[in-house]
Amino acid sequence: MLLAQALIPIAAVVAVAAAFVCALAARDPAAPPPPPRRAALLELSLVLLAAGLVATVAVAAFIGGYAGALDRAAWAGGSFIAGCAAVAAAGLLAAALDADAGRPAAVGPLSGGALALGAVAGLFGLASSLAGEGPWAGASLIAPAAGGAGLAAAVAAFGPGAAPARTSLGPLAGAVVAAAALAGLLAAGELSARSGDAAWSAFPLVVAACVLAAAAIASIPGAVLAASGRAAAPLVSAWLAAIVSALAVVGAAIVLLPAGAGWAAGAVGAGLGAGLLLAHGGILPGAAADRLPGRLLPWLIGALALAIAWTLGRELAGEGFAPGAAGLYGLTLAAVAAPGPVLVRLAIFPFAPPVTAAAAAVDVETWARPGEAGIALAVTAAAAPARPEPANALPAAGIAAAAALALAVALSPHARHELLRAAETEPVRAAAVVQDLGLLPPGDPDRYAFANELEQRRLTLEELRQQVADDADFGPADVRLLLAADTAARDAFVDARLASGSLIPGEAERITAARRPLPPLLPLPGVSAGAAVGVLAGFAVAAAAGAARRPASPLRPLIAALGLLGLLLAVGPVLRFFGPGEADSLQFVAAFALVAGPGAALMAREDAGTEAPALGLAAAGLALALAAGLLA
């Protein structure tokens, strides 16, 4: 764990330092100096501040109101504003320093990722230690940070005073890193709780640090190559970043993970492969890129890489984890790793010269005279038009889609953790949620029977906790976990604690005497009113992202981004109190995130900036922030 605690701040410092070195070391003297942006920066700062404060108060009031606890409101508001501030700072740095078209756009992507990673890691460390309930509770407490990061990215891309498209990559990079890191923390919480080893939760942050540090290292030779006129500099940097990341992650997995290091490193490798493919996106020859297969190929291969990561992650089930939870862990590791090659490509590409295509002109001359005939060929070089510049929208949208998808799927372990909290304090309400999710037969008798069983189970485990008399061996988080552990998870928990000496056989027998209340992961949204409304609302947001790509007024998309928060905060309670079931609001936010997150990101075309991906991440992040309060 000392390695993880040291590597994350070192990687953040290296990334920021490399960004400034690249930005200040080389400049194209032929490029005109950037225009003054002092007024625009002030306007953007005020908009970011206002949006962050309003949204923070709304999220804190919502979650605090549902939980009925001031500390939950403080954690929600603090994590939301921290994520928003980190990405907002990255956006302002990028707008101030990356607007110079004669320099690489390195400050935005690299510093954005570094600031977001530092904010998430700091929040996670505070929540895990101060909450006193372990990594899973810490990850759930700071879940709204993804919403703050996504909202800041959307405001920076859409808001008044927004910078040119190349400088809006910084906030998007920060939101991607924050979303992917939080998805990894949420997915790892159950693994850490079952094994009693916090290394599983630290590993996604270590992967993000390794990837970010490798991108920073690769950006320096990339900037040198670009300054010397090498058109292949962005892709060379992406490949170098992927190779350095792979080596660093393999070493970290061997040192940190108690077992299954190979499978976890393989899932990270699949994510790096997806990132490389997305970094190559948009550079196909013009004729191939204009055809539908050419446009879909990077997405299809990237999706295949994520599927491979899920499959490799499922192999961790051999270490005692449920296959679904282990597969989700592999998917989130891939989502954390994928941004690395793309970020360095986006940082170096604006400074690289365009690729020129060679062409030749052939003149043929024939003649015939009495007694003589001949032919002459003359081959001369001719300047051909440069190949169209690869667009940044495709790779940027790709990593945004991967992060939003991972974040949306991570709603399941987050909701499961919140349900465990309800099972401990409100067993009847927890039974109603389980019943609404289709995991119990309908009717009051089954609901109250399940609630009574939960209460009896809790009392038995509390008696065992008092008998052990050491929360480090068997504490409140273990009681909560075992309230809803399936057979495989319960047996893995018992075996791990027996092997470590935390429990003795007689104590273990009291744990194994229980039936399985819940599946390893809550089901994804099914057919319900909430899921239907969520799907429709998600498609509406995706359509609004496409319609507002080039708005007539800068205030319209900003109002739409803030209106998204109002939609989520309004529809969730309505569905909860007036819908057909207790779990309908959870179905709504899950369906909304699954559609609006990747859906809005996929709408980005080659001629678009990062507006649609930013709104997609904002949708997924705010949906997770809402889910943080629905079952609190």
* Lowest-pLDDT range of 77-81, 312-316, 319-323, 328-332: 319-323
Residue 289 is predicted with a pLDDT of 46
Residue 132 is predicted with a pLDDT of 60
* Lowest-pLDDT range of 378-392, 566-580, 581-595: 378-392
Residue type at position 543: A
**Token pair belonging to 319:** 């270490």
Q: Which position has the token pair 């504003």?
A: 81
Q: Tell me the C-alpha to C-alpha distance, in Å, between residue 593 and each of 326, 414, 605.
A: 21, 14, 21
Residue 4 is predicted with a pLDDT of 66
Residue 85 is predicted with a pLDDT of 93
**Average pLDDT for residues 149-163, to the nearest whole number?**
76
Residue 200 has pLDDT above 90, yes or no: no
* Lowest-pLDDT range of 256-260, 317-321, 457-461, 491-495: 317-321
Give 122-148 as a DSSP string.
HHHHHHHHHH-S-HHHHHHHTTHHHHH
Residue 286 is predicted with a pLDDT of 44
In a 13 Å sphere around the CA of 449, the CA atoms on its Cβ side amount to 8
Residue 381 has pLDDT above 60, yes or no: no
Return all residues near 462 (Cβ < 8 A) that are at least 6 apart. 479
Q: To the nearest whole number, what is the mean pLDDT of the chain?
A: 78
Of how many residues is the chain composed? 632
Residue 302 is predicted with a pLDDT of 74
Residue 79 has pLDDT above 90, yes or no: yes
Give 385's pLDDT tier (boundaries 50, 70, 90): very low
* Lowest-pLDDT range of 311-315, 513-517, 628-632: 513-517
**Token pair belonging to 557:** 């998309």
Q: How many CB atoms lie within 10 A of CB 71?
A: 12
| Phi, psi dihedrals of residue 134, rounded to the nearest 5° | 95, 180
Residue 244 is predicted with a pLDDT of 92
Give 494's pLDDT tier (boundaries 50, 70, 90): confident
Residue type at position 331: L
Please report which helix (H) or strand (E) contains residue 223, including its range.
helix 199-227
Please report which helix (H) or strand (E) contains residue 246, including its range.
helix 233-256
**Taking a C-beta distance cutoff of 8 angstroms, is the pair 568, 624 a contact?**
no
Residue 390 is predicted with a pLDDT of 46
Residue 243 has pLDDT above 90, yes or no: yes
Between 112 and 285, residue with greater pLDDT? 112
**Average pLDDT for residues 373-395, to the nearest whole number?**
54
**Token pair belonging to 110:** 């690299």
Question: What would the pLDDT profile of 92-149 be if each residue is shown by its tens digit?
Answer: 887 777 666 667 777 778 888 888 998 999 999 888 877 666 788 888 889 999 999 9
Nearest-angstrom CA–CA distance, 445 and 531: 27
Q: Which of 522, 593, 613 is closest to 143 using CA atoms?
A: 593
| Phi, psi dihedrals of residue 378, rounded to the nearest 5° | -125, 120
Give 386's pLDDT tier (boundaries 50, 70, 90): very low
Nearest-angstrom CA–CA distance, 156 and 115: 15
Give 23-87 as a DSSP string.
HHH---TTSPPPPP-HHHHHHHHHHHHHHHHHHHHHHHHHHHHHHT-HHHHHHHHHHHHHHHHHH
**Average pLDDT for residues 482-492, to the nearest whole number?**
72
| Phi, psi dihedrals of residue 319, rounded to the nearest 5° | -90, 10
Residue 320 is predicted with a pLDDT of 66
**Taking a C-beta distance cutoff of 8 angstroms, is the pair 176, 146 a contact?**
no
Collapsing DSSP to helix, strand or coil, 368 comes out as strand
Between 437 and 291, residue with greater pLDDT? 437
* Lowest-pLDDT range of 356-365, 420-429, 550-559: 356-365
Cα 454-457-461 angle, rounded to 5 deg:
135
Return all residues near 277 (Cβ < 8 A) that are at least 6 apart. 298, 301, 302, 305
**Taking a C-beta distance cutoff of 8 angstroms, is the pair 291, 311 a contact?**
no
Residue 384 has pLDDT above 50, yes or no: no
* Lowest-pLDDT range of 107-121, 202-216, 241-255, 295-309: 295-309
Residue 463 is predicted with a pLDDT of 84
Residue 89 has pLDDT above 50, yes or no: yes
**Token pair belonging to 353:** 């010269």
Cα 152-158-160 angle, rounded to 5 deg:
100
**Average pLDDT for residues 279-300, to the nearest whole number?**
57
Q: Where are the beta strands (DSSP E) in 345-398?
A: 358-369, 372-383
Exposed / middle / buried, residue 470 (Cβ in 10 Å: 0-12, 13-18, 19+): exposed
Nearest-angstrom CA–CA distance, 361 and 87: 52
Residue 517 is predicted with a pLDDT of 57
* Lowest-pLDDT range of 18-32, 288-302, 402-416, 591-605: 288-302
Give 492's pLDDT tier (boundaries 50, 70, 90): confident
Give 180's pLDDT tier (boundaries 50, 70, 90): very high
Residue 47 has pLDDT above 60, yes or no: yes
**Average pLDDT for residues 12-39, to the nearest whole number?**
73
**Taking a C-beta distance cutoff of 8 angstroms, is the pair 16, 209 a contact?**
no
Nearest-angstrom CA–CA distance, 366 and 363: 10
Residue 475 has pLDDT above 50, yes or no: yes
Residue 296 is predicted with a pLDDT of 65
Distance from chain centroid for Cα 361: 51
3-state SS, 432-445, equals: HHHHHCCCCCCCHH
Residue type at position 318: G
* Lowest-pLDDT range of 96-110, 181-195, 336-350: 96-110
Residue 199 is predicted with a pLDDT of 84
Residue 285 is predicted with a pLDDT of 44
Residue 569 is predicted with a pLDDT of 81
Residue 434 has pLDDT above 90, yes or no: no
Nearest-angstrom CA–CA distance, 564 and 542: 11
Q: Which of 38, 100, 143, 109 is closest to 418 using CA atoms?
A: 143
Residue 181 has pLDDT above 90, yes or no: yes
Q: Tell me the C-alpha to C-alpha distance, in Å, between residue 208 and each of 11, 109, 115, 202, 412.
A: 9, 14, 12, 10, 22
* Percentage of the chain lying above the pLDDT 70 cut: 76
Q: How many CB atoms lie within 10 A of CB 97?
A: 21
Return all residues near 217 (Cβ < 8 A) that are at least 6 apart. 14, 18, 240, 241, 244
Q: Tell me the C-alpha to C-alpha distance, in Å, between residue 257 and each of 187, 191, 252, 499, 608.
A: 15, 12, 8, 17, 41
Task: Give CB contacts under 8 A, 24+ apart, made by 54-59.
Answer: 54/562, 55/80, 55/84, 55/147, 55/148, 55/151, 55/562, 55/565, 56/80, 56/81, 56/84, 56/148, 58/565, 58/566, 58/569, 59/144, 59/147, 59/565, 59/569, 59/625, 59/629
